[in-house]
Structure 1
């Protein structure tokens, strides 16, 4: 029997709330500007849909899934990286910690790229509001999303 991914029985909207609460992100969201919230929420959707936590390695995996498994544009990536909230987060975590996490995840990227080719279609980065009322399990079935990778 396949292992059930987290948040499967919740709607995407409910899963995002649960994800933020579980990882202590509520205060960060409360302090964000609306535009930044939208970017971070899209990124959190990747975490929820692919069953990833907020460890550095799984953050790196979420970046891989975002690049290979969504229809994000280079402009969206640039806009996200230019957000003061993203720059502050990088400063808080530290470049050395981020670099170590990404080095540990370097072998994950070819696997993510390969698995993303098996998706029925890419997750819609900018236009996904219609999916908020769907269960996470239904979205995963619709897009062909399975467990992302082992931690």
Structure 2
């Protein structure tokens, strides 16, 4: 299923694209994670924004590709990455992947999808500037087409996003 935010020239605002991403999550039976009201960091909003901005779904292959966008196309710091890994839902997901798919799954996943990952790396090197992972709230009201033009973001095509081998993973085992 291709979503509007996955189109390079989508006229949606980033806010509308995140809302579409949340509808997609609900449609496939996934929980929408949100930040605690008392938390100064809004990591889930930032994370969801990267899904919308870089045009990826939540398949394991889509998440792996998004990892490359975040690492090479944003200004995320190592500290924020470490904090992200300590979030209970992320810890549960990591444990579940290892339990269900095995400890060698992640290297195999990256190897199987090396063409898409290499293309993301190349596209991220052609960006005019890195996306601020901890984005300003004003960006929510800008259109994706304008944001992508401003940052020089070229999405993967549907063919490039298609995994060489899709992985089934039961996300329900990580719900809290």
Report the TM-score when normalising by structure 2. 0.71
Question: What is the total number of aligned residue pairs between the two structures?
Answer: 146
State the distance in 2 between where 1:70 and 1:84 align.
23
Q: Which residue of 2 aligns with 1:143?
A: 151
Q: Which residue of 1 aligns with 2:22?
A: 20
Measured against aligned partners, the alpha-carbon deviations of 1:86-131 in whole angstroms (never above 9, x if no partner) come to 1123344x22276243332234333322221100111001133120
Q: Taking structure 1 as reference, are residues 7 and 82 closer, same or farther at Cα in structure 2, changes over 3 Å only?
A: farther
When the two chains are superposed, the root-mean-square deviation of aligned CA atoms in Å is 2.6
- More helix, by proportion: 1
Question: Where does the alignment leave 5 or more consecutive residues of structure 2 unmatched?
Answer: 1-5, 163-176
Q: Which residue of 2 aligns with 1:33?
A: 36
- 1:57 corresponds to 2:65: no
Q: Taking structure 1 as reference, are residues 56 and 85 closer, same or farther at Cα in structure 2, changes over 3 Å only?
A: same
Ranges of 4+ aligned residues in structure 1 off by more than 6 Å: none
Q: Which residue of 1 aligns with 2:174?
A: none
What's the CA shift for 1:42? 1.3
| Structure ID, larger Rg | 2
- 1:101 corresponds to 2:109: yes
Report the TM-score when normalising by structure 1. 0.81
State the distance in 2 between where 1:62 and 1:20 align.
16
Question: Where does the alignment leave 5 or more consecutive residues of structure 1 unmatched?
Answer: none
